[in-house]
């Protein structure tokens, strides 16, 4: 007989679940959803992302990706020229021609994502129809999917949400009892979690997205979803519409977050409490030792999150609870309460939570609060540094492996590094 894992209530500080939110609608300073291609193309090794956009779009992903060291990167841009934009050329014909040439040159591609942009939206190029047309010719060797990464419709991490959501209709159906981890994680993180779920006896476990876009996890009424990224709300709702149920948990950031995240799956799979302790306690202890090195440096430091990646709320919880940082303001571009239901009660009730952005007003609040560290997008970092603030680019948080026990100290280091740099400059 096994004893089901008791659900251990987390110590709360009053919580932020019911506090009023400052809602702002004004000028925003956030990347568009094309940015997601930079981490998605690394994860999905048999996919290609073809942005149907302008030279601006091509420059954005190229500079966001930095210097590409791959001989053949798995993304590109089909540039819409002035003739296309003026409606003088048949952009559909041109797109089909580009796709055919690309697939002939890159026969290893199994999934081709056509990614919409502001220009393709403006000229009303129907990428859904284009995908249908190409699939009729190319399936089953290559599947063509489409989503929008346009700055009119998406910010930064919503690109991943849109990419995953467009895959949901093609996931096979199942009645099997399986765990699905939803959200892009680094391969090394997947390997660590697979070992942990194996040791706990939780499974079968599938990751969505998997390393190959063509390796599609099945979904159905007995699928349980464990969320790895807080910004995939639309994808989660599409999976729920196919019967899957979410296991509510904080995100696996830090030692505490990771333990609670694993506990949610363990409780669902009736894992024995002793087994859970034996598997997780040594790893949790090691992660806590790693964090202790940073706690001295970060405790009491005042932190301001500009709204950018939607990772702000889980990271604020981690930085406050495990490293003792003080939260000045936690901004998020969208507050999707269902996605952060287990996080909000863990923030101090005094936290100023803001949703959306009116950038000038928010910068005024930064200047008034004089926080020790501002987490923000690339566009705001330089002006803030010029004004004497210490900043951390939030984009690093989606490029770096930050989930799980083994990455907890690395995650703390991301926030400690700019403070140390500032201190060294001040000497």
Closest separation in Å from C-beta 61 to ligand SF4 = 8
Give the angle subtended at the CA of 10 by the CAs of 5 and 14, to the nearest 5°.
Answer: 150
Residue with tokens 């609870």: 321
Rg (CA), the chain: 22
Q: How far apart are CA 41 and CA 113, in angstroms?
A: 10
Of residues 150 and 332, the one with the C-beta less far from ligand SF4: 150
Binding range to ligand SF4, per CB under 6 A, among 50-58, 72-80, 273-281, 285-293: 50-58
Binding range to ligand SF4, per CB under 6 A, among 147-155, 201-209, 295-303, 356-364: 147-155
Binding range to ligand SF4, per CB under 6 A, among 53-61, 204-212, 375-383, 412-420: 53-61
- DSSP letters, 207-251, are EES-SSTTSPPPB-TTEEEEES-TT-HHHHHHHHHTT-EE-----
Q: Which of 150, 232, 351, 394 binds ligand SF4 (CB under 6 A)?
A: 150
The CB-side HSE value for 169 (13 A sphere, CA atoms) comes to 8
The CB-side HSE value for 324 (13 A sphere, CA atoms) comes to 11
Of residues 63 and 350, the one with the C-beta less far from ligand SF4: 63
Q: Which of 76, 151, 250, 345 binds ligand SF4 (CB under 6 A)?
A: 151
Hey, which residues does 147 pair with through a beta bridge? 115
Residue 81 touching ligand SF4 (CB under 6 A):
no
Q: Which of 34, 130, 236, 395 binds ligand SF4 (CB under 6 A)?
A: 34
> Nearest-CB residue to ligand SF4?
151
| 292: its two tokens | 């202790």
Interface with ligand SF4 in residues 375-404 (CB under 6 A): none
Q: Which of 44, 47, 60, 142 binds ligand SF4 (CB under 6 A)?
A: 60
Closest separation in Å from C-beta 35 to ligand SF4 = 8
Residue 57 touching ligand SF4 (CB under 6 A):
yes
Of residues 149 and 217, the one with the C-beta less far from ligand SF4: 149
Query: Are 37 and 292 a contacting pair, CB within 8 Å?
Result: no
Query: Are 223 and 120 a contacting pair, CB within 8 Å?
Result: no
How is residue 33 annotated by DSSP? G
| 82: its two tokens | 């002035």
Hey, which residues does 235 pair with through a beta bridge? none
Query: Are 378 and 296 a contacting pair, CB within 8 Å?
Result: no
Interface with ligand SF4 in residues 171-210 (CB under 6 A): none
Closest separation in Å from C-beta 54 to ligand SF4 = 6
Interface with ligand SF4 in residues 114-143 (CB under 6 A): 117-118
Q: Which of 53, 76, 252, 418 binds ligand SF4 (CB under 6 A)?
A: 53
Closest separation in Å from C-beta 40 to ligand SF4 = 15
Query: Are 46 and 74 a contacting pair, CB within 8 Å?
Result: no
Q: Which of 5, 30, 32, 103 binds ligand SF4 (CB under 6 A)?
A: 32
How is residue 35 annotated by DSSP? G
CB atoms within 10 A of CB 334: 15
Residue 77 touching ligand SF4 (CB under 6 A):
no
Of residues 60 and 339, the one with the C-beta less far from ligand SF4: 60
Give the interface size with ligand SF4 as a residue count (CB under 6 A): 12
Q: How far apart are CA 128 and CA 180, in angstroms?
A: 27
Q: Which of 56, 272, 275, 326 binds ligand SF4 (CB under 6 A)?
A: 56
Q: Which residues contact ligand SF4 (rule: CB under 6 A)?
A: 32, 34, 53-54, 56-57, 60, 117-118, 149-151
């Amino acid at each position: 007989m096994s004893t089901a894992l008791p659900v251990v209530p987390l110590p709360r500080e009053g919580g932020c679940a019911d506090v009023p939110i400052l809602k702002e609608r004004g000028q925003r300073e956030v990347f568009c959803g094309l940015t997601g291609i930079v981490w998605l193309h690394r994860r999905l090794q048999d996919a290609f992302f073809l942005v149907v956009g302008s030279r601006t779009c091509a420059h954005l992903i190229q500079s966001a990706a930095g210097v590409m060291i791959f001989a053949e990167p798995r993304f590109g841009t089909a540039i819409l020229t002035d003739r296309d934009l003026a409606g003088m050329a048949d952009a559909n014909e041109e797109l089909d021609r580009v796709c055919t040439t690309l697939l002939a040159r890159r026969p290893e591609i199994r999934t081709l994502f056509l990614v919409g942009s502001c220009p393709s939206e403006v000229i009303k190029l129907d990428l859904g129809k284009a995908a249908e047309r190409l699939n009729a010719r190319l399936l089953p060797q290559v599947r063509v999917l489409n989503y929008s990464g346009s700055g009119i419709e998406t910010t930064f991490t919503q690109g991943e949400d849109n990419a995953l959501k467009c895959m949901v209709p093609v996931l096979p159906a199942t009645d099997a009892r399986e765990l699905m981890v939803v959200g892009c994680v680094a391969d090394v993180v997947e390997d660590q979690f697979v070992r942990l779920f194996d040791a706990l006896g939780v499974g079968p476990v599938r990751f969505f997205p998997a390393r190959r876009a063509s390796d599609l996890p099945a979904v159905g009424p007995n699928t349980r979803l464990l969320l790895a990224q807080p910004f995939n709300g639309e994808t989660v709702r599409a999976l729920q519409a196919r019967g899957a149920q979410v296991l509510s948990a904080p995100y696996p950031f830090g030692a505490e977050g990771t333990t609670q995240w694993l506990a949610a799956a363990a409780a669902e799979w009736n894992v024995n409490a002793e087994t859970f302790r034996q598997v997780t306690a040594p790893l949790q202890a090691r992660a806590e030792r790693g964090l202790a090195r940073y706690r001295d440096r970060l405790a009491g430091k005042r932190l301001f999150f500009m709204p950018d990646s939607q990772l702000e709320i889980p990271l604020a919880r981690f930085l406050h609870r495990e490293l003792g940082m003080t939260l000045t303001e936690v901004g998020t571009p969208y507050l999707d309460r269902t996605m952060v239901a287990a996080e909000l009660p863990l923030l101090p009730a005094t936290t100023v939570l803001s949703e959306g952005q009116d950038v000038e007003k928010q910068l005024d609040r930064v200047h008034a609060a004089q926080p020790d560290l501002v987490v923000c997008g690339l566009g705001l970092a330089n002006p803030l540094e010029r004004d004497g603030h210490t900043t951390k680019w939030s984009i690093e948080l989606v490029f770096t492996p930050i989930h799980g026990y083994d990455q907890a100290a690395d995650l703390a280091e991301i926030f400690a590094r700019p403070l140390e740099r500032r201190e060294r400059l001040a000497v």
